[in-house]
Amino acid sequence: MKLLIDVSVDQIEASSVSVGRAGNTIPEVMQVVAGFTEFVGEIRVASAEQGVDVEEVRLEGNTAS
């Protein structure tokens, strides 16, 4: 019976360490997600700017014709 209790205690301690690691990892994941979100936003802005530039070129092409 003591062996069973000791094994259970060891498993609980190991689980506690795993939970602690997960708790430390979550903020890192959140930082990566925030960075990715910012990156996607920058792509969106650049794409919109490029769309405006393409439209200006199109309009200038129509004017030159």
Mean pLDDT of 25-54: 95
Predicted TM-score (pTM) of this structure: 0.58
Q: Is the pLDDT of residue 32 over 70?
A: yes
- Confidence class for position 59, pLDDT limits 50, 70, 90: confident
**Confidence bin at 65 (pLDDT 50/70/90):** low
Averaged pLDDT of the chain:
91
The amino acid at 46: A
Token pair for residue 34?
Answer: 């925030």
